[in-house]
Amino acid sequence: MKINRRDFASAVLASTGAIAVRGQEPKLSGASPREVVLRGRVVCVTEELQQRYHVAADCDRRGHLYAVKTTDGELFAFLPTDAAAAIYLDERCRERELQVTSRLFPDLGMIEVIRLQSWKQGRLHNLFYFCEVCNIRTHKPGPCDCCQDPVEFREIAVAEDEEER
């Protein structure tokens, strides 16, 4: 029997009681999502909790749960959306001090990425990927949507980037 991913996910959530009835909205306390700009570095939540609370991390097999750890030490986990793909796929994004414009779901402590930028030598930089052939930008690594050539990582100071465009 073939189960599609969405049905499987709903079934899992229903069986754990996280969602009582299929089709209902997840129960959040009512704090509305809001746009926030967070500055910090990428960490794996599971590993952070392993260090602090001895959570039995199994990242090698289960994958990392990435979060931005702000300069205040707060953790906000990235929802695995397409806009966050570069965090998962490109080590360079995880090594940098980031500025993450995002939508925060306060009840969950999770963020949906809107834009990724970096801080380097005290200057804010735009992070993106570029296809030389097609002269187009994208937000994640991999083959260009248009010509299928690999896109290149770019990090350009915001002021210079605006001049260029």
Q: Which residues bind Zn ion (CB under 5 A)?
A: 44, 46-47, 59, 64, 131, 133-134, 144, 146-147
Nearer to Zn ion, 18 or 147 (CB): 147
Q: Give the residue with the Cβ less far from Zn ion, 77 or 98.
A: 77
Q: Which amino acid is at 33?
A: P
HEC string for 9-23: HHHHHHHHCCCCCCC
User: Do the Cβ atoms of 123 and 155 come closer than 8 Å?
Assistant: no
Question: How near is the Cβ of 90 to Zn ion at its closest, in Å?
Answer: 16
> Distance of CA 87 to CAs 41, 103, 118, Å?
11, 16, 12
- 98 or 131, CB closer to Zn ion? 131
Closest separation between CB of residue 45 and Zn ion, Å?
8
Alpha carbon separation from 20 to 10, 17, 32, 107, 110 (Å, rounded): 10, 5, 21, 18, 21
- What is the distance between the alpha carbons of residues 145 and 131, in angstroms, rounded to a whole number? 9
In the complex, least distance from residue 60 CB atom to Zn ion, rounded to whole angstroms? 8
Smallest separation, CB 6 to Zn ion (Å): 26
CB closer to Zn ion out of 44 and 116: 44
